[in-house]
């Protein structure tokens, strides 16, 4: 039997708002999105609303779009204040807050390093791990403390050569925006997913919430978990985000390098951590925290999760097998 | 990229669901305002002042000035210069009066006190509003404003809105007075005298509460403070600094032949072609200087600080020209999720909770549920279970805001009686005042037990009809006694 996770301190779900589940999906940000909802809201109407929200995120925060606000910011001359749209500011503000909370384990100014390792919009300049002569300037160009945000003024300071990368957080924000688009269209029960990050609300016609299974990395040995089972989460008023090196990595010289970089060293994080899953009401936070906790690693990550009441589950590879560690807030949701 | 596998409901799931539903908690809301059409051409509105040290007089003049900018004919007089006869035919009058000495009327009002207030003239054709200036550090706070209010009612005059009391010149209360002036003038765009000093909050949730409703869309909004841990009390008000939608700014600048420019999101943008034409050719900085700042908006707070978020229940207002309302459009449609909202909490002492131990009767309609919800939460948190809610909306199917939460309160016993009036669910229009009359017997019983009555919601219709029902059920003298002892309170708009 799977083990069950139920959110604490959430609003009670409303009763089912209809008798059928409808679905939509599409492509965005280099991945897929999908939405399921209960009720009679018309798919064409919802698709337009959803697409409008996704378009906002891509137009503002994509490093793949030369015309995005993010690309404009990254190209801007040193010392120039750049006006940013409100959504971009909201994400950057949250990113900086998490950077501060995690001592820079999550860092939105990591763009040049990401490019150097070939995980970003531009191809890597070298086939293997970049040399110190490349890493040093890329690291110097980053550093979240160099960013200045003027939220009331709606602008941010480009200190010079700083490359923003919001890939570790913008997807989560897009999930929140789509959830808001559905909620403000009067949809009371829905499940939103973009590239593996999910957010759910309300319940299905049969009176059950959206049950979502937590992923176990594919191709791994069975886990030695506390009981060795799978988890399913009741996603009511809750988001789940996972950061794992099995999704994107490269292999070089017999080693496997995950796409999560440690901004403090400029290197991908240790491969012993297979994945980190975070549960939080807000998907943007869950997304960024999952990345931050993987950078911190199991020990420091668990410590951080405990101190900040974050519901997190770490899967580590120990002696060829998967082992699991959960934070107290995660354990509190069990059964 | 791997898709997460979703496990569909297993056998266990239904059972678990029951436990799941037991995990009830919170949610929130609040209210908004509507513009009111000016009344038919009437005699100039009277603004009368009684002042000891000049503040009341100054505010009287400022009020008159503000009303004149909205083209409302106004005359200003000292209270001492008025007679019973002139009041009887004044039509509508605003009184701006202070209290001095040990709760005394200002000296300049002595003649009025002696000659006019000594009698009971027939003022049944007078509509009035009172701005009472005082200072809470004196034992008899706003005593003269209160006795003037009582006397006017006794003479049959009709309040246009509830008395506004100002503690030591408090700006929030003065803005609330301006809100009433705006309604009298039939405009919602009067500039603020003193712009509030807003704090930045973050919009973290926005949800439509009444899909399919015949009424305007109503939204649940949640905000978190960006800095600090602000405190407030059930009954308090959130003052919001609205912003223009980006498209509205772009459209306005475009009509003036300007490209994008900064600093217009908090300016009142004229709509009439002539007004816009008059601004043609100005450089952006000068243009901005000429435009008044957007006025603030007020919404009842629907949550408690302990909830960790400030929640509102906001109706989306559409103006006759199709544009969304300034404040409600910003909050319900234009403000981006996660974006900053300028907000200030205004203490609203006249709607703070009753002392513990009293039963509480909460009456309201529409978005008025916001203020009542904060009270209900405060009562639950304090373990006060003797609560009764009367709530009215259009239809049970669409407009029963926060239904799950309210029903959970009933189930757990923190709401001992619930009366719902859904006006469109049957042929005849049933409203809260009808439910109140049906429950007359029990209402008297609760009041005998010391209950306080709190009313929140629309000033037009509901508030007056509820008051009439209360007066019929309890008797005018008893209702007056409840008012005087603070057991009958209103937050109506
Ligand atoms: C607006 C937008 C447009 C995109 N368009 C494309 C596209 O056209 N094509 C495409 O292939 N991909 C695109 N992406 C990226 C793509 O969606 C995902 O591959 C990427 O977001 C990684 O997602 P994940 O869930 O695998 O990893 P997550 O765990 O959610 O995030 C990992 C990502 O965060 C960043 N990161 C790594 N370490 C850190 C750190 N320490 N601090 C902060 N950030 C870090 C890196 O970019 C890394 O890839 C886009 C992303 C965004 C936001
Ligand atoms: C001598 C003195 C006595 C006052 N007594 C009272 C009082 O009894 N109750 C009260 O509410 N305010 C009292 N106040 C406060 C005034 O009402 C308040 O300052 C008001 O704004 C004055 O307005 P005015 O300048 O129009 O007279 C008193 C102020 C003074 C200076």
**For B120-177, how does the pLDDT look when each residue is reduced to its tens digit (9 = 90+)?**
999 999 999 999 999 999 999 999 999 999 999 999 999 999 999 999 999 889 999 9
In whole angstroms, give the CA distance from residue B368 to residue B401. Answer: 11
H or E element that contains A233:
strand A231-234
Q: How many angstroms is it from B167 CA to the middle of ligand 2?
A: 9
Q: Ligand 1 centroid vs A119 CA: distance in angstroms? A: 8
**Which of the ligands is closest to the CA of residue A292?**
1
CA of A226 to the centre of ligand 2 (A): 71
- Extract long-range pairs of B315-321: CB within 8 Å, 24+ residues apart: B315/B31, B315/B32, B315/B215, B315/B216, B315/B217, B315/B218, B315/B219, B315/B366, B315/B367, B316/B216, B316/B217, B316/B218, B316/B219, B317/B32, B317/B34, B317/B216, B318/B216, B319/B35, B321/B271
Report the distance separating Cα B82 and Cα B79, nearest Å. 6
Q: Which residues of B touch A180 (CB under 8 A)?
A: 205-207, 337
Which residues in chain A have their CB less than 8 angstroms from residue B333's CB? Answer: 184
Supply A193's token pair.
Answer: 């997913």
User: Does A185 sit within 8 Å of B207, measured CB to CB?
Assistant: no
CA proximity to B153, closest of B115, B177, B127? B127
Contact at CB, B212 and A186, closer than 8 angstroms: yes
CA distance A190 to A5: 18
Of B4, B207, B339, which is closest to A215 when you measure between CB atoms? Answer: B4
A183/B337 CB distance under 8 A:
no
Beta strands in B29-185 (DSSP E): 45-50, 74-78, 92-98, 127-134, 158-159, 164-167
Do the domains spanning B199-346 and B354-492 agree at the CATH topology level? Answer: no
| Whole-prediction pTM | 0.75
Q: How remote is the CA of residue A142 from the centroid of ligand 1, in Å?
A: 17
Mutate to test the pocket of ligand 2, among B51, B98, B145, B165 (most ligand atoms within 8 A of CB): B98
Which chain B residues are within 8 Å of A151, Cβ to Cβ? Answer: 200, 226, 340
Distance, CA of B105 to CA of B113 (rounded, Å): 8
For chains A and B, what is the number of CB pairs under 8 angstroms? 141
Domain ranges of chain B: 36-185, 199-346, 354-492
Question: CA of A15: which chain B residue's CA is closest?
Answer: B404
Q: Is the Cβ pair B404, A12 closer than 8 Å?
A: yes
Q: What residue in A sits closest to B331 (Cα-Cα)?
A: A184
Pocket of ligand 2 (CB under 6 A): B 51-56, 98-103, 106, 133-135, 138, 140-143, 169
Contact B337 A214 (CB under 8 A): no
Out of B101, B135, B349, mutate this one to test ligand 2's pocket (max ligand atoms within 8 Å of CB): namely B135
pLDDT digit string, tens, across residues B196-245: 889 999 999 999 999 999 999 999 999 999 988 899 999 999 999 999 99
Pick among 3.30.1330.10, 2.40.30.10, 3.20.80.10, 2.40.10.340: CATH of B199-346: 2.40.30.10
Rounded to the nearest angstrom, the distance between the alpha carbon of B56 and the centre of ligand 2 is 10
C-alpha pair distances (Å), A170 with each of A42, A116, B171, B485: 27, 21, 41, 55
> Tokens 């050569």 appear where?
A161
pLDDT in tens, chain A (335 residues): 678 888 765 456 666 667 899 999 999 998 999 999 999 899 999 999 999 999 999 999 999 999 999 999 999 999 999 999 999 999 999 999 999 999 999 999 999 988 888 888 887 777 778 888 888 888 887 789 999 999 888 899 999 999 999 999 999 999 999 999 999 999 999 999 999 999 999 989 988 899 998 877 666 555 544 445 678 899 999 999 998 765 556 666 666 677 788 998 888 887 778 889 999 999 999 999 999 999 999 999 999 999 999 999 999 888 878 889 999 999 998 86
What's the pLDDT at A10? Answer: 47
Rounded to whole angstroms, how far apart are CA atoms A125 and A142?
A: 18
Residue-wise pLDDT tens digits, B288-337:
999 989 999 999 999 999 999 999 999 999 998 899 999 999 999 999 99
- Superfamily (CATH) of domain B36-185: Flavodoxin domain (3.40.50.360)
- Ligand nearest to the backbone CA of B78: 2
B376: nearest Cα among B359, B392, B396? B359
Could you say which architecture CATH assigns to the domain B354-492?
A: 3-Layer(aba) Sandwich (3.40)
Q: What are phi and psi of A83, to 5 degrees?
A: -75, 130
Interface ipTM above 0.90 = no
């Amino acid at each position: 039997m799977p083990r069950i996770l139920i959110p604490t301190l959430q609003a009670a779900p409303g009763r089912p708002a209809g008798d059928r589940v409808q679905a939509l999906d599409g492509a965005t940000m280099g991945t897929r999105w999908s939405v399921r909802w209960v009720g009679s809201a018309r798919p064409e109407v919802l698709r337009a609303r959803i697409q409008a929200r996704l378009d906002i995120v891509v137009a503002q925060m994509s490093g793949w779009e030369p015309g995005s606000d993010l690309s404009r910011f990254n190209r801007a001359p040193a010392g120039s204040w750049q006006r940013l749209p409100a959504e971009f500011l909201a994400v950057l503000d949250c990113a900086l807050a998490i950077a501060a909370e995690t001592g820079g384990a999550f860092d939105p100014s990591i763009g040049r390093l990401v490019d150097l390792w070939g995980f970003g919009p531009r191809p890597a300049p070298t086939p293997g791990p970049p040399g110190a002569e490349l890493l040093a300037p890329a690291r110097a160009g980053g550093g979240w403390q160099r960013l200045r945000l003027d939220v009331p003024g709606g602008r941010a300071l480009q200190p010079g050569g700083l490359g923003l990368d919001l890939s570790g957080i913008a997807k989560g924000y897009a999930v929140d925006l789509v959830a808001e688009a559905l909620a403000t269209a009067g949809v009371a029960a829905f499940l939103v997913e973009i590239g593996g990050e999910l957010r759910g609300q309300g319940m299905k016609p049969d009176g059950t919430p959206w049950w979502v299974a937590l992923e176990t990395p594919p191709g791994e040995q069975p886990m030695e978990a506390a009981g060795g089972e799978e988890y399913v989460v009741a996603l009511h008023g809750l988001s789940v985000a996972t950061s794992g090196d099995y999704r994107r990595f490269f292999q070089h010289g017999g080693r496997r390098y995950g796409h999560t970089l440690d901004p403090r060293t400029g290197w991908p994080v240790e491969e012993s951590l297979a994945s980190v899953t975070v549960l939080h009401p807000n998907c943007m936070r869950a997304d960024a925290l999952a990345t931050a906790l993987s950078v911190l690693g199991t020990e420091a990550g668990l410590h951080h999760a405990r101190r900040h009441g974050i519901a997190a589950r770490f899967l580590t590879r120990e002696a060829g097998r998967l082992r699991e560690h959960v934070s107290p807030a995660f354990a509190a949701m069990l059964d | 990229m791997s898709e997460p596998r979703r496990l569909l409901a297993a056998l266990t799931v239904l059972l678990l669901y029951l436990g799941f539903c037991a995990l009830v908690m919170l949610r929130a809301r609040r209210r908004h305002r509507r513009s009111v059409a000016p009344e038919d051409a009437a005699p100039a509105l009277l603004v009368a002042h009684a002042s000891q040290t000049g503040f009341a007089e100054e505010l009287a003049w400022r009020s008159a000035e503000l009303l004149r900018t909205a083209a409302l004919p106004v005359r200003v007089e000292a209270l001492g210069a008025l007679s019973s006869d002139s009041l009887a035919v004044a039509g509508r009058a605003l009184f701006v009066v202070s209290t001095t000495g040990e709760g005394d009327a200002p000296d300049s009002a002595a003649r009025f006190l002696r000659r006019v207030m000594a009698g009971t003239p027939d003022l049944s054709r007078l509509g009035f509003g009172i701005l009472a200036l005082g200072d809470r550090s004196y034992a008899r706070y706003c005593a003269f404003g209160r006795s003037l209010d009582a006397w006017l009612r006794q003479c049959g005059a009709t309040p246009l809105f509830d008395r506004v009391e100002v503690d030591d010149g408090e700006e929030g209360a003065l803005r609330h007075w301006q809100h009433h002036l705006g309604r009298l003038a039939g405009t919602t765009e009067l500039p603020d005298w003193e712009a509030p000093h807003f704090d930045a909050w973050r919009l973290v949730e926005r949800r439509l509460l009444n899909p399919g409703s015949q009424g305007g869309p109503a939204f649940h909004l949640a905000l978190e403070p960006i800095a600090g841990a602000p405190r407030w009390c059930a009954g308090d008000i959130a003052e919001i600094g609205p912003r223009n939608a980006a498209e509205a700014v772009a459209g306005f600048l475009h009509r003036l032949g300007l490209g994008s420019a900064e600093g217009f999101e908090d300016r009142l943008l004229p709509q009439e072609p002539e007004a816009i034409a008059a601004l043609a050719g100005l450089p952006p900085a000068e243009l901005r200087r000429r435009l008044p700042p957007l006025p603030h908006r007020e919404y009842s707070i629907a949550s408690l600080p302990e909830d960790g978020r400030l929640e509102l229940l906001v109706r989306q207002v559409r103006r006759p020209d199709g544009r969304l309302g300034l404040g409600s459009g910003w909050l319900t449609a234009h403000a981006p999720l996660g974006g900053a909202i300028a907000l200030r909490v205004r203490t609203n002492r006249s709607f703070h909770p009753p002392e513990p131990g009293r039963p509480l009767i909460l009456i309201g309609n529409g978005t008025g549920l916001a203020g009542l919800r904060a009270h209900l939460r405060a009562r639950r948190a304090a373990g006060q279970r003797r609560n009764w809610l009367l709530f009215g909306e259009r239809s049970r199917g669409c407009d029963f805001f926060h239904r799950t939460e309210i029903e959970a309160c009933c189930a757990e016993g923190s709401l001992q009686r619930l009366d719902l009036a859904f006006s469109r669910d049957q042929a005849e229009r049933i409203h809260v005042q009808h439910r109140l009359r049906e429950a007359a017997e029990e209402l008297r019983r609760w009041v005998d037990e010391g209950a306080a009555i709190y009313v929140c919601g629309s000033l037009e219709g509901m508030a007056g009809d509820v008051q009439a029902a209360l007066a019929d059920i309890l008797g005018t003298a008893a209702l007056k006694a409840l008012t005087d002892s603070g057991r009958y309170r209103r937050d109506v708009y």
